[in-house]
Structure 1
Amino acid sequence: MTDTNKTHTLSFRLAEDDYQKLVERCREAELSKSKYLRYLIRIPVVTEGEHAEDVPCLVLDRKSLARISKELTRWGYHYNQAVHAMNSINYYVAHGKATSDILDGKAESIECALIDVNDNAQRIVYEIAELQSKQLVQE
């Protein structure tokens, strides 16, 4: 929606506590009150019935996105470490330099990295489950 489409003005009254919640949420989201309310209006509100599953909307706040991003970064780091160790094994085998000491150390390194990858993937699943359980709009 562009600014040129905004032809209607809305005015309404709020209780002080609701107004303070609005101001606080706008500050946290770094949005103007108008933009914040426009975003809220666009959120489909379907909670029951046959169309409840078809609502293509997911709202994430900055804090949740930052936590998910941090977990994905950790996951990527450990995944990269495992791949690096596997490439090292491939190099030693291809060049006839493979010894049981090298292979044992690399295999252990891969196992540890993949355990970390799995742990971080489970954290990501947990974070997403937490997001799904939160209310979309607080009362």
Structure 2
Amino acid sequence: MERFDRRLHVRVSASDIERAQTLAGTLDITTSALVRLLLQLPAKDVAARRHVVLDLACANRLYRELNQWGYQQNQAAHALNRIAYYLRREAMDASDVLEELASVERQLERLRERADEIAVPVRKVAESRLLFL
């Protein structure tokens, strides 16, 4: 018999414990053996149940991309506020306003393009059960 000298501590709900004990009892194994068995499931089997596994590198890439979206939105809002500031002080004429609005539109279009690239994959992740490594 293999000796297991490491421990894995997890926080679960009462219903999770009940399901684990029921499944372990059905399989005639301990809950520890059940967890070890589940940890060996192939990734394709987990993916078929619409689970998403995120490692630290993937989570960081998602964070950086979302941070970039926020930066672009902030830049667009800053440009619009700048336009409003100068319009209130009558320091801009129509051509200046149109030029600044075109700049804001370009920034927002770049944001839309980048958002469209990953919107569907991010939506799929958001709708899935997440497993973090």
* Separation in 2, partners of 1:68, 1:47: 19
Whichever residue aligns with residue 83 of structure 2, its letter is I
Cα distance, 1:130–1:34 mapped onto 2, change above 3 Å: farther
* SS of equivalent to 1:84: helix
C-alpha change, 1:81 and 1:104, in structure 2 (3 Å) is: same
Larger radius of gyration: 2
Of 47, 50, 66, which residue of structure 2 is paired with 1:72?
A: 66
Which TM-score applies when normalising by structure 1? 0.51
RMSD: 4.3
Aligned CA distance change for structure 1 residues 110 and 47 (closer, same or farther; 3 Å): closer
Structure 1: runs of 5 or more not aligned: 1-9, 14-32
The one-letter amino acid of 2:64's match is K
Which residue identity is paired with 1:79?
Q
Paired residue total = 98
Letter of the 1:69 counterpart: Y
User: Is there any run of 5+ residues in structure 2 with no aligned partner, and where?
Assistant: 12-34, 40-44
Runs (4+) of structure 1 moved beyond 4 Å? Answer: 10-13, 45-48, 129-132
Counterpart mapping for 1:25-40 below 5 A: 34-35=7-8
Tell me the SS of whatever aligns to 2:54: coil
Relative to total residues, which structure has the larger strand share, 1 or 2? 2
Percent identical: 26
